[in-house]
Amino acid sequence: MQLSALFPQKTKRPLSATAKRSPQNRYRNWGPGLLFLLMSSVLAGAASAQKVTLHLKDAPIQRVFKAIFRQTGYSVVFDEALFAKEKPVTLDFKQASIAAVLNSCLKDRPFTYQISNRMILIRKKETRMGEDSSGKQTTPKIVPSAVGYLSLKGKVTDSLGNPLPGATVRLGTMHLGTHTSTSGEFELQAIHPGDELIISFVGFKEKRIVIGDNVRYYHIILRPLENLLDEMVIQGYGTTTRRFNLGSISSVTKEEIERQPVNNILQALENRIPGMQITPRGSIPGSAPDIKIRGTSSIAAGTAPLFILDGIPIPESQSTIGYQALDNANLSLLLDINPADIESIDVLKDADATAIYGSRGANGVVLITTKRGKQDGLHVQLNAYTGTQKVPHFVDMMDVHEYNQMRREAMANDGITPTAANAPDLFDWDTTRETNWQKMLIGKTSKTNDVNLSVSGGSENTHFYLSSAYHNEGTVMPGDADFSRRSFHGNLSHLSRDRRFSLNLSTTFEVGKLNLIQQDLTSFINIAPSYTLYKEDGTPNWEGARGFPLAYTMQPYASNTQTYNGQFNISYELIKGLQLKLNAGFNNSISDQSLKSPSYTLDPRYYSSGSLQLGNYNNYTWILEPQAAYTKTWGVHHLKALLGGTFQKSSSHVYNATGQDFASDALIGDIASAGTTTISDRTSTYAYASLFGRLTYDYREQYLANISFRRDGSSKFGPGKRFGNFGAMGLGWIFTQQPAVKASLPWLSFGKLRGSYGVSGNDQIDDYGYLSVYSSSSTGSLSYDGPSLLPSRLANPDYSWEETWKFDAALELGFIRNRLLLTVDYFQNRSSNQLVSYALSPQSGFSSYQANLPATIQNRGLEIELTSQNIDRPTFSWKTSLSLSKSKNVLLKFKDIENTSYYSMYEVGRSLGLRMAYVYQGLNDKGVPVLEDLNEDGTINSLDRKFIGDSDPFFGGMSNDIRIKDFSLSFFIAYTRVSNFNNIIPASRLGVLGTNNPAFFLDRWQKAGDEHGTDIPAFTTKSSTYNARFFSQSDVWWESNNIFRLSNVSLSYELPPAALSFLKISSAKVYINGQNLLVTDPHKSYRLDPLTGNTALPPLRTFVLGLNCSF
């Protein structure tokens, strides 16, 4: 058992990067006198070195102790104040025992000593150590001499019986203590009954026990700490606590993720992280939402943050074979991650937190950490849920009579007489048939099922965690389309007996299968109600305005994604405080996609045979990160240093093939049977190397400082431009550590001011952009006489990193013993050297080229985060979290913008999200919208728009977690301010053949004079009547709405243990979770959802019923 001495701590130290969950030994300023502790690392063979050789003349007595410590490795504990006035000592010993030396030097002095398990305690005779130099005693009791003391053993565990190694056990009055062993055990000597034992461990509540007269063994159970300040915060290449963190880092815990029955962890983050804006663009599984952290910082380079899964950068999404049902035809690769395997998701935002990621940190960093094993015992957990999903509400569309009336009126307005030729819907179609296309196309109730089984456990030094899960969900569209995911996650960690060597192996293997249909059918809900799917002869009716919509349900799109993620982490404590680490990892995501369009699903008037599209995407990344971390404490100074390097190589290989002219639909799965094939095969590689470091220092846990730097080299840039330097400095002041502040503001339990400034970069551009290259076009429309060579782009060897300078200042306050925590964070980011795909007139041969622009973009904003433990009693607890983010984007400067191709898109002094609108002047006496010709050039075009507003983000959320006895209820309300053109106003005319409209549009212009009462134009079939695209972007449709969404409700009941014991179940919980339950949208009557409008599947209302058992 390892013993060392320590002294009272008011607060716990941050978890160091090198030794998680292990508090550090350190000195404390204790009372007026300075207490010294001489520590040693326990070295093998030290036991034989208990002989001391000393030659001292008139030396201070402290030097004796130091010499003993240095020569024997024994810690010596003494109060320096007590020795301040002691006479110097003269000694001469050769190979003497410690006892001989001490006896000699303490002779005739009022001190006694005690050697206990490699530790020497020196104390004043006949009095307690608590007495300070003024002689005032902290405890009135006079205790007997050291000889009368007892020895005590015990074990410290959590409530589940897991041992807590490294917990601190100390005597409250004597400042003598120890750490528990890896099995949680401890032993103390020289204890007296009546002494108070204080047991503490990071993350747990401190416990105090008065030692009884006859008890010699204690089993101490610690309860988890509710103090939110000491929650672990994961930062880049390490961890810290909320108390000592200097960066702007927000986290979502596993509990918050587990409550949400979503398929993609990104959905679970929506509105929960201040500053992180996640905008869904549809609800088809695999949809990749738009993600921005602290606003848009780049005109044209990517704005997505860097995603890191267990230390390995992973691609967040990838392109598809042009599969349009997913927004941007992009597939979210995070869909493959099983939300139940996530321990935490931490989002790094400011310079202090992101500069260590250098060139990739400008858009923020998302750290995803998976679950790890626990000690002792075997824990088996089974979680299963089943539920339903459906579109929350439908739009009120015109019925068939209103539709017919609209058509007749439109033609009358146009002066056209309806005939069977120009209006088959009024003549040939059944004008009384009413089909509810919403019910038909997106009205299904789909099922979702999820099973997750995990086994965790371990012995003292080795822990493991294994989980396997299956998830399945259908869609609300007709047919058998579904998404399923099988995942396996394993984690194994080992710590050597001497606690110096550790390794951790983490692996994830996930298979996602998307079996979807070709289209998101939501955009078809406006088919005329009288359209019939089949003609009288039973063949598909292709002659509606939108073809035969069910054809899409027979065009299967399949995507099989496999993600392998493996991480290997070893660390070795070379000398005390210095750890060498190596993090190695790889990530491989493979996606096999196919889209089959058999001939019977294609309009026979145009096509005679079917087609097949295949796509194989392979992304491979390996990373190697050697690191050295050093932790040192002396006196009131605490220092942590980190130095490391990164070598990363990523390659992607995309293989696409399209086959046409199949002899038979039966062969459509076989590309080799295609009459003609088009193949494209692209490889790109990205290499990345860097050196990084960080220095963290605090003085008296009051003044904090952090410096980080990174030098990055990336293959994306031309020779001479490849390396860039990034760095940041963070400063903090915990002012509540100041006695004066403490005294004057007793209600303030915690107060910290922090600020950071630094630079990080953005390199999210295509590979090889700096090179003038030709690529081969062997097939496809551009090949000529066999393979031909085509220039890939306009080359520019001179572009370089985009840089974002980030300033962040925050005030963190804790009230009522930190039960109420408030963080107000102000940031100002300025991105310059904008890396753009510079848009050109195509007269240059290309419509863009890669360049840096002399433009600066500023994002400035405020984030407020409030966490409150409203009620915290054993049977009733209630916690509320609130966050709000608002930011303003400004194009600060753009040299010479009027001579660039951006002059019509952006305006200096305005947001990049600026919206330009046509000026609507009302309907004329024919019911046609009149738009103002602002530049008076006689025509309406995009130059006739004026600034109307911007789409700068303003969003937030509130969560409440309430527990009453065995019942828990939590709910989350998301808030988003949506500023945009009302997204339902059609970009085409009202009144065309085969297209129905929401009943909202019935309030249209009908006759002269109506223009004073309505803004809905007259029905018309003619495109030339007005340009609807312009009208839909006119100021009359601009709006800002506050949208509140009850996005999650979770209710659970913990079954009483008594009822379970006979089943050998240790705990069981039943729960009901609901997702997307309510949304406040002022336009519900004609809009499915305020964000997705009527063109993409709205967020589905999901209810699941689940059971969670532990064995």
Partner 1 sequence: MKFIYNHLCQRLWRSRLILAVFILVLGLSACSKFVDLALPPDKIAAETVFASDNSLISALNGVYGTISNSTDFITPAYFADELTFVNASGSTLDAQQNSYSAETDYQYFTNYYRAIYEANAILDALPKSTGLSAPVIAQARGESLFLRAFAYFKLVNFYGTVPLIQSPDVAKSALKGNTSIDSLYTAIIKDLTDADSLLTDTYPKSTRIRVNRGAVNALLAKVCLYRGNWPDAVSAATAVLNDPQYRLESDPNMVFKSGSPETIWQLWNPNGYTSVAGTFVPVNTAAVFYRIRPGLIAAFEPGDLRLQDWIRQGTGEADTLYYPYKYRNKSLTTGTDAEYLVVSRLSEQYLIRAEALAQLDQLSQSKADLDQVRVRAGLDAVVASDKNALISAIWKERQTELMFENGDRWFDLNRTGRAASVLKAAKGSFPDYAVLLPFPTDILLHNPNLNQNEGYKK
Answer yes or no whether residue 846 interacts with partner 1 by CB under 8 A.
yes
Q: Is 1063 helix (H, G, I), strand (E, B) or coil?
A: helix
Q: Which residues inside 64-103 make contact with partner 1, applying CB under 8 A?
A: 66, 70
Residue of 455, 584, 839, 1065 that binds partner 1 (CB under 8 A):
839
Residue of 134, 419, 1023, 1061 that binds partner 1 (CB under 8 A):
1023
Q: Which residue has the tokens 């940190």?
A: 361
Sign of the CA dihedral running 50, 54, 58, 62: negative
Query: Least distance in Å: CB of 1035 to partner 1?
Result: 19
Q: For residue 644, how far is the Cα from the chain centroid? A: 24
**Closer CB to partner 1, 329 or 790, in the complex:** 790
Residue of 938, 1012, 1062, 1064 that binds partner 1 (CB under 8 A):
938
For residues 481 and 402, the answer to whether their CB atoms sit within 8 Å is no
Cβ of 212: how many Cβ atoms within 10 Å? 10
CA gap 1045, 383 in Å, rounded: 27
Q: Which residues inside 218-277 make contact with partner 1, applying CB under 8 A?
A: none
Query: Least distance in Å: CB of 238 to partner 1?
Result: 18
Answer yes or no whether residue 690 interacts with partner 1 by CB under 8 A.
yes
Residue of 48, 214, 417, 608 that binds partner 1 (CB under 8 A):
608
Q: Which residues inside 713-732 make contact with partner 1, applying CB under 8 A?
A: 713-715, 719, 722-723
**Closer CB to partner 1, 154 or 644, in the complex:** 644
For residues 438 and 307, the answer to whether their CB atoms sit within 8 Å is no
Answer yes or no whether residue 443 interacts with partner 1 by CB under 8 A.
no
**Closer CB to partner 1, 36 or 1103, in the complex:** 36
Closest by CA position to 1084, among listed 436, 394, 439: 394
Answer yes or no whether residue 849 interacts with partner 1 by CB under 8 A.
yes
Query: Least distance in Å: CB of 46 to partner 1?
Result: 12
Rg of the chain over Cα atoms, rounded to whole angstroms, equals 35
Answer yes or no whether residue 905 interacts with partner 1 by CB under 8 A.
yes
Cβ of 744: how many Cβ atoms within 10 Å? 9
Answer yes or no whether residue 217 interacts with partner 1 by CB under 8 A.
no
Site string for partner 1, 759-778 (x = CB under 8 A): ---------x--xxxxxxx-
**Closer CB to partner 1, 457 or 547, in the complex:** 547
**Closer CB to partner 1, 390 or 1022, in the complex:** 1022
Query: Least distance in Å: CB of 660 to partner 1?
Result: 9
Query: Least distance in Å: CB of 713 to partner 1?
Result: 4
Query: Least distance in Å: CB of 942 to partner 1?
Result: 6
Answer yes or no whether residue 1029 interacts with partner 1 by CB under 8 A.
yes
Answer yes or no whether residue 607 interacts with partner 1 by CB under 8 A.
yes
Q: Which stretch binds partner 1 (CB under 8 A): 156-164, 260-268, 408-416, 937-945?
A: 937-945
Residue of 2, 11, 41, 104 that binds partner 1 (CB under 8 A):
41
**Closer CB to partner 1, 512 or 761, in the complex:** 761
**Closer CB to partner 1, 357 or 768, in the complex:** 768
Residue of 146, 511, 628, 1051 that binds partner 1 (CB under 8 A):
628
Q: Which residue has the tokens 């046509």?
A: 918
Query: Least distance in Å: CB of 883 to partner 1?
Result: 39
How far are the Cα atoms of 203, 204, 733 from residue 818, in angstroms, in the given order? 14, 15, 17
**Closer CB to partner 1, 11 or 783, in the complex:** 783
CA gap 518, 549 in Å, rounded: 10
For residues 217 and 184, the answer to whether their CB atoms sit within 8 Å is no
CA gap 383, 812 in Å, rounded: 37
Q: Is 924 helix (H, G, I), strand (E, B) or coil?
A: coil
Answer yes or no whether residue 53 interacts with partner 1 by CB under 8 A.
no
**Closer CB to partner 1, 784 or 876, in the complex:** 784
Element (H, E) at 200: strand 196-200
- Enumerate residues 6+ apart whose C-beta is below 8 A from 13: 23, 24, 26, 202, 244, 638, 701
Residues touching partner 1, count (CB under 8 A) = 90
Query: Least distance in Å: CB of 1046 to partner 1?
Result: 41
CA gap 104, 977 in Å, rounded: 78
User: Which residues, in sequence order, are bridge partners of residue 922?
Assistant: none
Query: Least distance in Å: CB of 790 to partner 1?
Result: 4
Element (H, E) at 1039: strand 1038-1054
Q: What b/e string do you get for 78-104 counting C-beta neighbours within 10 Å, with b at 16 or more?
A: bbebbbeeeeebebebeebebeebbee
**Closer CB to partner 1, 322 or 604, in the complex:** 604
Q: Which residues inside 273-332 make contact with partner 1, applying CB under 8 A?
A: none
Answer yes or no whether residue 606 interacts with partner 1 by CB under 8 A.
yes
**Closer CB to partner 1, 470 or 846, in the complex:** 846
**Closer CB to partner 1, 576 or 893, in the complex:** 576
**Closer CB to partner 1, 130 or 713, in the complex:** 713
Answer yes or no whether residue 496 interacts with partner 1 by CB under 8 A.
no
Query: Least distance in Å: CB of 956 to partner 1?
Result: 37
Site string for partner 1, 533-572 (x = CB under 8 A): ----------------------------------------
Q: What length is written for the chain?
A: 1111
Answer yes or no whether residue 824 interacts with partner 1 by CB under 8 A.
no
150-158/217-222 β-pairing: parallel
How far are the Cα atoms of 177, 591, 592, 606, 611 from residue 677, in angstroms, in the given order? 77, 21, 18, 19, 10
How far are the Cα atoms of 668, 674, 696 from residue 658, in angstroms, in the given order? 11, 9, 55
Element (H, E) at 1070: strand 1067-1079
Q: Which residues inside 152-181 make contact with partner 1, applying CB under 8 A?
A: none
Q: Which two three-digit tokens encode residue 232?
A: 């672990």
Beta-carbon-side half-sphere exposure of residue 676 (alpha carbons within 13 Å): 8
Contacts 24+ apart (CB under 8 A), 133-139: 133/32, 133/33, 133/81, 133/82, 133/84, 134/32, 138/173, 139/173
Query: Least distance in Å: CB of 804 to partner 1?
Result: 21
User: Which residues, in sequence order, are bridge partners of residue 887?
Assistant: 861
**Closer CB to partner 1, 688 or 801, in the complex:** 688
Site string for partner 1, 781-800 (x = CB under 8 A): xxxxxxxxxxxx-xxx----
The DSSP result for 961-1000, as a single string, is EEEETTEEEEEEEEEEEEEEE-TTS-SS-TT-TTB--BGG
Closest by CA position to 864, among listed 806, 808, 812, 805: 812
**Closer CB to partner 1, 39 or 477, in the complex:** 39
Site string for partner 1, 983-1022 (x = CB under 8 A): ----------------------------------------
Answer yes or no whether residue 436 interacts with partner 1 by CB under 8 A.
no
Q: Which two three-digit tokens encode residue 822?
A: 């408030």
CA gap 313, 295 in Å, rounded: 22
Q: Which residues inside 630-689 make contact with partner 1, applying CB under 8 A?
A: 632, 634, 643, 645, 647, 661, 675-676, 681-689
Q: Is 739 helix (H, G, I), strand (E, B) or coil?
A: helix
Cβ of 739: how many Cβ atoms within 10 Å? 8
CA gap 436, 533 in Å, rounded: 12
Answer yes or no whether residue 604 interacts with partner 1 by CB under 8 A.
yes
Q: Which residue has the tokens 């609901």?
A: 1074
Query: Least distance in Å: CB of 549 to partner 1?
Result: 17
**Closer CB to partner 1, 554 or 795, in the complex:** 795
Helical axes 61-72 vs 98-106, angle rounded to 10°: 170
**Closer CB to partner 1, 981 or 1086, in the complex:** 981
Instruction: State which amino acid sits at residue 39.
Output: M
**Closer CB to partner 1, 774 or 876, in the complex:** 774
